[in-house]
Amino acid sequence: MGDTVKYTLPEERIPKAWYNIQADLPAPLPPVLHPGTGKPIGPADLAPLFPMALIGQEVSREREIEIPGPVRDIYRQWRPSPLYRARRLERALDTPARIYYKYEGVSPAGSHKPNTAIAQAFYNREEGIKRLATETGAGQWGSSLAFAGALFGISVDVFMVKVSFHQKPYRKALMETYGARCVASPSTETAAGRAVLAADPNSTGSLGIAISEAVEVAAGRADTKYALGSVLNHVLLHQTVIGLEAIEQMKLAGDEPDIVIGCAGGGSNFAGLAFPYLGRKLRGGPDLRVIAVEPAACPSLTRGVYAYDFGDTGHLTPLVKMHTLGAAFMPSAIHAGGLRYHGMAPLVSHVKELGLIEAKAYSQTACFEAGVQFARAEGIVPAPEPTHAVRAAIDEALACKREGRSRAILFNLCGHGHFDMQAYSDFLAGKLKDEAYDADSLKRSLEGLPKVAAE
Ligand SMILES: Cc1ncc(COP(=O)(O)O)c(C=O)c1O
């Protein structure tokens, strides 16, 4: 089987439990704080927004959390996802590196996001919830929750960041096809949206603003809860099916990754692939390098500060300790809409602080160049977000070539770019600009960080 390209597992090998890295961390996560009291919050504070089962997962220290049967049954629709050996890309790069990618674009919505959308919809339905409100950046998460809502009979309202809403009209059509409602954010439907529009009628929106709108809607209605597509512990937990399967598939390949790479917006696809590997390492297993890759235009891990901050622009969420650019930070309108978030998952931030992972930032043209090179070798057009992981994987493979060393590089190809072709057209026409973040606005945004006594 020397030339195997695709390593697949049968449906029975879909993991039976998610992996919870909180069981293996050398230091616990800092607590989530109530913005009013500055004291750690309890389950009752989160109950208006999330079902109790998910609140329990948020704070659990159990290493394994069983995947409910109905969720595993739906996972069968696309899981286990394939693991590929990028043999044609290796040849194109003329590298001694062994490059592997886990492909999550085979899900119905086109990315890793249904791994948690299905689980979240399931737990909400179990607790009698009829409606979910959410935000979406690239549209991948909104489509995934819309799909999950259709399967569980839950209505879904999606606030889609305005710049992406206009860049990707067919994502809205996909959400509507699944039966969801999708509005451009900032909208006039919420006080948070109206406040942003009053200050800047031309606001292109951000994930932080869209979160405020969705939280406001969920908090105001008893039959409605909020669903988040990234950042929170339970979301990262659900994504660990990716890494758990990859560990088995790398065994089929008779190889072990030296380097694991994922793009990081809120941190969920990155954690989904990396945490099962990090857990093995923390329990005395094989060592490896783990790299989170983010856009230079929204560099929370590489340029942000590790501090308590709000998860949203309107300051409706609790305070979480994370790498942040400040909740007021407005990233430029890059095409990787899913990476335009001012913060980073507390768990990803924590493992970065513990020195367990590295972070890198790339500009968007360097990423699209890698995406095109990948498509021309492997045939799959990556979503703009994972082109960041592709860029880093190619750079590591080129480093192998320079050093004359073979390393195994595994990255998460967490979604396809079939709804993102305008971005590729713009890139191919030479129209894409590299917009670095604005240092002054970052400084101002960081000055607005909440003052927290516990720090
Ligand atoms: C395809 C894709 N990749 C990555 C991301 C970034 O999110 P996360 O860091 O949670 O994986 C998104 C978010 O919308 C996405 O749609």
pLDDT tens across 241-251, in order?
999 999 999 99
Mutate which of 334, 339, 364 for ligand 1 pocket (most atoms within 8 A of beta carbon): 339
**Please, which residues bridge with residue 352 across strands?**
none
Q: Give every CB contact of residue 443 below 8 A, 6+ residues apart in sequence.
A: none
Choice from 120, 234, 261, 268 to test ligand 1 binding pocket (greatest atom count within 8 A of CB): 268
pLDDT higher than 90, residue 69: yes
In whole angstroms, give the CA distance from residue 426 to residue 429.
5
The answer to whether the pTM exceeds 0.75 is yes
Taking residues 357-377, what's their average pLDDT?
98
Give nearest CA residue, ligand 1 atom 7. Answer: 265
For the CA of 111, the closest atom of ligand 1 is 1
431 CA to middle of ligand 1, Å? 24
Closest ligand 1 atom number to CA of residue 267: 9
Q: Give the pLDDT mean for 301-322.
A: 96
Residue 436 has pLDDT above 90, yes or no: no
Summarised one tens digit per residue, pLDDT across range 410-433 is 999 999 999 999 999 999 999 999
Q: Confirm or reject: Cβ of 109 under 6 Å from ligand 1.
A: no
- Per-residue CA distances from 285 to 16, 119, 277, 288, 351 (Å): 21, 29, 9, 10, 17
53-59 own/partner pairs: CB under 8 Å, 24+ apart? 53/123, 53/126, 53/127, 54/120, 54/123, 54/234, 57/20, 57/233, 57/234, 57/237, 58/232, 58/233, 58/234, 59/233
With residue 18 as reference, give the H or E element that holds it.
Answer: strand 17-19
- Centre of ligand 1 to C-alpha 56, Å, is 24
pLDDT at 331: 86
**Structure confidence at residue 1 (pLDDT):** 47
Chain segment 70-79, per-residue pLDDT in tens: 999 999 999 9
Helix (H, G, I), strand (E, B) or coil at 150: helix
Instruction: Please give the average per-residue pLDDT across 175-194, as a whole number.
Output: 98
Which pLDDT value is given to residue 57? 98
Contact 319, 146 (CB under 8 A): no
Average of per-residue pLDDT values in the chain: 96
Centroid of ligand 1 to alpha carbon of 383 (angstroms): 9
For residue 138, which atom of ligand 1 is closest to its CA?
A: 14
- The mean per-residue pLDDT over the stretch 331-353 comes to 92
Structure tokens at 23: 């069981």
- Residue 103 CB less than 6 A away from ligand 1: no
Ligand 1 in contact with 230 (CB < 6 A)? yes
Residues in the chain: 455
Average the pLDDT over each of 203-207, 270-274, 321-325 and give the range with the smallest value. 203-207
Looking at residues 47-65, what average pLDDT do you find? Answer: 97
Mean pLDDT of 323-327: 97
Task: Check residue 334 and give its pLDDT.
Answer: 82
User: Closest residue (by CA) to atom 1 of ligand 1?
Assistant: 415
pLDDT at residue 453, rounded to an integer: 66
Examine the pLDDT at 171 and tell me if it is beyond 90: yes
Is 80 within 8 Å of 12 (Cβ atoms)? Answer: no
Q: Is 82 in the pocket of ligand 1 (CB under 6 A)?
A: no
How much is the pLDDT for 454?
53
Q: Is the CB of 141 under 6 A from ligand 1?
A: yes
How many angstroms does the Cα of residue 112 sit away from the middle of ligand 1?
8
**CA nearest ligand 1 atom 4, residue:** 385
Average pLDDT for 362-367 = 97
In percent, how much of the chain has pLDDT > 70? 99
The reply to whether ligand 1 has any atom less than 6 angstroms from the CB of 339 is: yes
